[in-house]
Amino acid sequence: MNIFALSGILAGFTSFGMAVFVLLKAKQRLHYLWGIFCLSVMFWGFGVLMIATEDDPAMAIFWWRVAYIGVVWIPLLFTHFVYKFLSLSHRTFIFILYALGAIFSYANLNTDIFINSVRFVFGQFYYSYPATPAFQAFTVLFFALTIYSHIKLFQGYRVAQGIKRLQIKYFFMATLVGFAGGSTAYLPHYHIDIYPALNLTVFLYPLIMGYAIFRYRLMDLKLVIKRSTVFVALVLTLAAVYVFLVSFVTEYLQQFFPYRALFFTGLIVSILLAIGFEPLKRFLQRATDRIFFKDEYDVETYLDSVTKFLSTLLNLSKLITEFTESLVSTFKVKKLAFFLLEKKQRHFQAESLIGFPEGVVLATFHQRHTFIRALSLHHAPIVLEEWKRQEENMALSRNDQQLLRMLEQLDVALCVPLYFNERLTGFLLFSEKKSGDVFTQKDLQVLQIVANQAAISFENALLYQETRSFNVTLREEVKRATETLKRVNLELNDKNKQIRLFNRRLAAANAQLQELDKAKSEFISIASHQLRTPLTIIKGYISMLLEGSFGEIEETERDALEKVYVSNERLIKLVEDLLNVSRIESKKMEYDMTKVDFGALVQNIVEEFHDVAEKKHLTLSMQRDPELPFAKIDSEKMRQVVMNLVDNALKYTESGGVAVSVSCQGKKVMLKIQDTGIGIPHKDIPRLFEKFSRVHFVSSVNTEGTGLGLFVARKIVEAHNGKIWGESKGIGKGSTFFVELTL
Ligand code: ADP
């Protein structure tokens, strides 16, 4: 085996592996194109293997043709793939390419104008030589298209952004390496005898492409890589076993079965294959799973489980825990932060932080924070790596650049927004995956679905929580109010009890008071009665003494006797007043109503007071309506009233006089007693007619008053359904008393 053969094997196997697996999983035209391209490289690879090991020139020509079945299509398919990959369209051009492909294929397989002779080179194998005009034409086409496609790729790379840019980069690298190495195989055709060792690099292009597919989601064919890896590993292992057996075991067996050694080797290989194929395949599958797909998850199962708890859990904190834990375990990320718009809708708060070092405080974000504002505009997950690359091209807005900085600071690799009703209600910040892998297109799609669903569930849970906490508050409020009510009730009961007790005591005190009052009235009544008789007798005797019924009396004796008389009179009046009060209070006052000439009654009284007025040098006038009708009154009691009023008027007047008048207004009789005396202070007027009421300063003028006269007068007038009141303009301005009786 020589290096040329080895390059063929390697290129053949790797291309075959990639072709099979891309074709198995092909979803788009692009995938088919790539698969077929790989197949054409494979043809060339295996063709080279056969050429490199063939020592019959005629057979070598045959293998060269086989190899060129693939080579003819390599530049054409590659150009078409590049056009498709860069979304360039030029149908006619592509059609011409395929037409050329068909022509060269025909020339290669059915004529001698393409490949017709070989020469022995490097002492190892037969090389197609000389290059026919058709072959030369094809060489030109091969290089032209290869170079042209790479220029196109390079142009595409310059304008591409984000992940696409990176994908093109790897794609470019892969094919450049492959083609550059592969191109050296043309040299010996033109008698430039450089060993086509660089051919070895051809096998690298599927590996680099594989890496790009895996790492940068090139063509979204990660799964394909998994399968192809298993398959390639399987084939390589089997090939290695076969080579081993052929080269060593056959040699060994040759000693025993000189002619059948190869047959026995084949037998052993077949047996080993039959026994070992399945376990080997499973082993390799598990191994690749471990290497490439340790982060793999079954989308359906995951979505199923998420949907289950998202639609059944109502407890917000449980929901958050389940949700974030499921994300971490499924996507195998190092860190995860989950932010949710809080109740007052002002801040986004970290509801869950997984994997962040203890004590790390992620800031809460205000609604108006630039980060949130920028995030609100992105309705899809943001992959930081892609953004970074966009930023390199200055394709990011300033807002987004700022957002990128912040996410970088937070060590975030992916940010997934949660929307409810077109409004950002939360977001997830993912760090890198533990494996260091990028988030695949599938991851992003799954996350988008899950985030949308979660946004609804969180909104529901929030609502539920609010209702519940409202209920709890309500219950607490009701409980508190009930307790307050109970306390107030108890207090009220207590107060009521106290009031009842107090009332009972009051009633008892009242009863006692009434008893006392009764006793007092009885005492006054008895005392007055007992006093009145002797006082009247004294009055009689003094009158008689003064009138000289017991002989002439000296002037000095008269004077003394008159003083005794006056004092006695006062005592009689006092007793009379007391008796009246006690009668009134014990409701024993009796009235004897008769029709009386009220005017005459008043006139008589006024006349009786003439002496008193004269002594004090006061005028005392009387005016009387001539047509005064008779009034139905108790004349004796009314007499007391009038006498008291006239007496007071004279008593509290030092100069001037007293004017008494009786008039009639319709059915009303009005008695008016007006004096020019000391007057009554304004504030004392309302209390004049109360028991024992005396205007304070008056006691200095008249010390003998009892304050009972006006009280008795009021009671008597009221018993006549009449009214009595006093008026005064103030101290020193005289007073006027009125009695109004209804006829
Ligand atoms: P008293 O025996 O004290 O005169 P009254 O009941 O007759 O008792 O009068 C009550 C009080 O009213 C008197 O003490 C006096 O202060 C006041 N008073 C009554 N009439 C007059 C009046 N004509 N002028 C001034 N004060 C008067």
pLDDT along the chain (743 residues), means of 10: 85 87 76 89 92 92 94 94 86 94 94 93 91 94 94 88 73 84 90 86 76 60 54 72 72 74 74 79 72 68 87 84 89 88 82 75 71 77 72 65 74 86 88 73 85 87 83 90 93 93 92 85 78 89 90 89 88 85 84 92 94 93 89 92 94 94 91 95 90 67 74 94 94 94 87
- Is 206 close to ligand 1, i.e. is its CB under 6 Å away? no
Q: Helices 635-651 and 598-608, interaxial angle, to 10°?
A: 40
What pLDDT score was predicted for residue 391?
A: 62
| Residue 291 Rama label (left phi>0; alpha psi -120 to 50; beta) | alpha
Q: What are phi and psi of 661, to 5 degrees?
A: -145, 150
Residue 209: CB atoms within 10 A of its CB come to: 25
202 touches 9 (CB < 8 A):
no
- Is 681 close to ligand 1, i.e. is its CB under 6 Å away? no
For ligand 1, atom 1, name the residue with the nearest CA: 705
What distance lies between CA 65 and its chain's CA centroid?
76
Q: How far is CA 657 from CA 625, 650, 681, 682, in A?
A: 20, 7, 20, 22
Ligand 1 centroid – CA 25 distance (Å): 129
Q: Which residues pair with 120 in a beta bridge?
A: 126
For 539, the 3-state DSSP assignment is helix
189 touches 131 (CB < 8 A):
yes
Ligand 1 centroid – CA 535 distance (Å): 24
- Is 577 close to ligand 1, i.e. is its CB under 6 Å away? no
In 3D space, the residue among 286, 287, 276 whose CA is nearest the CA of residue 241 turns out to be 276
In order, the DSSP letters of 551-579 are: S---HHHHHHHHHHHHHHHHHHHHHHHHH
Instruction: Report the residue among 692, 694, 702 best suited for mutation to probe ligand 1: largest number of ligand atoms under 8 A from its CB.
Output: 694
For ligand 1, atom 21, name the residue with the nearest CA: 648
640 touches 580 (CB < 8 A):
yes
What pLDDT score was predicted for residue 239?
A: 73
365 touches 348 (CB < 8 A):
yes
597 touches 633 (CB < 8 A):
no
Q: How far apart are CA 53 and CA 246, in angstroms?
A: 16
Instruction: Report the residue among 648, 684, 701 best suited for mutation to probe ligand 1: largest number of ligand atoms under 8 A from its CB.
Output: 648
Ligand 1 centroid – CA 631 distance (Å): 27
For ligand 1, atom 7, name the residue with the nearest CA: 709
- Is 706 close to ligand 1, i.e. is its CB under 6 Å away? yes
Going through 625-707 in order, the beta strands assigned E by DSSP cover 631-633, 657-665, 668-675
What pLDDT score was predicted for residue 395?
A: 62
Nearest ligand 1 atom to the CA of 711 is 6
Question: Contacts for 328-332 with beta carbons within 8 Å, 24 or more apart?
Answer: 328/354, 328/355, 330/297, 330/302, 331/295, 331/297, 331/430, 331/433, 331/439, 331/443, 331/447, 332/294, 332/295, 332/433, 332/434, 332/435
Ligand 1 centroid – CA 566 distance (Å): 19
- Is 150 close to ligand 1, i.e. is its CB under 6 Å away? no
- Is 676 close to ligand 1, i.e. is its CB under 6 Å away? no
- Do you know the residue count of the chain? 743
612 touches 566 (CB < 8 A):
no
- Residue partners of 162: CB distance under 8 A and separation at least 6: 386, 387, 389, 390, 395
In 3D space, the residue among 564, 587, 589, 565 whose CA is nearest the CA of residue 576 turns out to be 589
Task: Give the tokens for residue 590.
Answer: 């009796």
- Is 649 close to ligand 1, i.e. is its CB under 6 Å away? yes
Q: How far apart are CA 499 and CA 479, in angstroms?
A: 29
Residue 439: DSSP 8-state: P
Q: How far apart are CA 650 and CA 34, in angstroms?
A: 143
Task: Give the tokens for residue 548.
Answer: 């000289």
pTM: 0.39
What pLDDT score was predicted for residue 190?
A: 92
Q: Which residues pair with 741 in a beta bridge?
A: 669
- Is 734 close to ligand 1, i.e. is its CB under 6 Å away? no
- Is 736 close to ligand 1, i.e. is its CB under 6 Å away? no
What pLDDT score was predicted for residue 69?
A: 94
637 touches 591 (CB < 8 A):
yes
What pLDDT score was predicted for residue 359?
A: 60
45 touches 15 (CB < 8 A):
yes
Ligand 1 centroid – CA 538 distance (Å): 27
- Is 678 close to ligand 1, i.e. is its CB under 6 Å away? yes
Give counts: helices (H), strands (E), the chain. 21, 15
- Is 200 close to ligand 1, i.e. is its CB under 6 Å away? no
What pLDDT score was predicted for residue 159?
A: 81
- Is 710 close to ligand 1, i.e. is its CB under 6 Å away? yes
- Is 643 close to ligand 1, i.e. is its CB under 6 Å away? no
- Is 650 close to ligand 1, i.e. is its CB under 6 Å away? no
646 touches 639 (CB < 8 A):
no
Ligand 1 centroid – CA 648 distance (Å): 6
- Is 355 close to ligand 1, i.e. is its CB under 6 Å away? no
Is it true that the peptide bond before 130 is cis, omega within 30 degrees of 0?
yes
In order, the DSSP letters of 379-432 are: -S-EEHHHHHHHHHTT-S-HHHHHHHHHHHHTT-SEEEEEEETTEEEEEEEE--
What pLDDT score was predicted for residue 445?
A: 85
Task: Give the tokens for residue 628.
Answer: 């005064």
For ligand 1, atom 13, name the residue with the nearest CA: 694
Q: How far is CA 152 from CA 88, 147, 166, 444, in A?
A: 10, 9, 15, 30
Q: How far apart are CA 319 and CA 669, in angstroms?
A: 98
Ligand 1 centroid – CA 599 distance (Å): 23
- Is 735 close to ligand 1, i.e. is its CB under 6 Å away? yes
For 326, the 3-state DSSP assignment is helix
Q: How far is CA 27 from CA 212, 603, 641, in A?
A: 18, 140, 130
Q: How far apart are CA 54 and CA 59, in angstroms?
A: 7
Instruction: Report the residue among 654, 693, 710, 733 best suited for mutation to probe ligand 1: largest number of ligand atoms under 8 A from its CB.
Output: 710
What pLDDT score was predicted for residue 107?
A: 94
What pLDDT score was predicted for residue 502?
A: 93
For ligand 1, atom 24, name the residue with the nearest CA: 652
Q: How far apart are CA 241 and CA 358, in angstroms?
A: 54
In 3D space, the residue among 11, 18, 75 whose CA is nearest the CA of residue 43 turns out to be 11
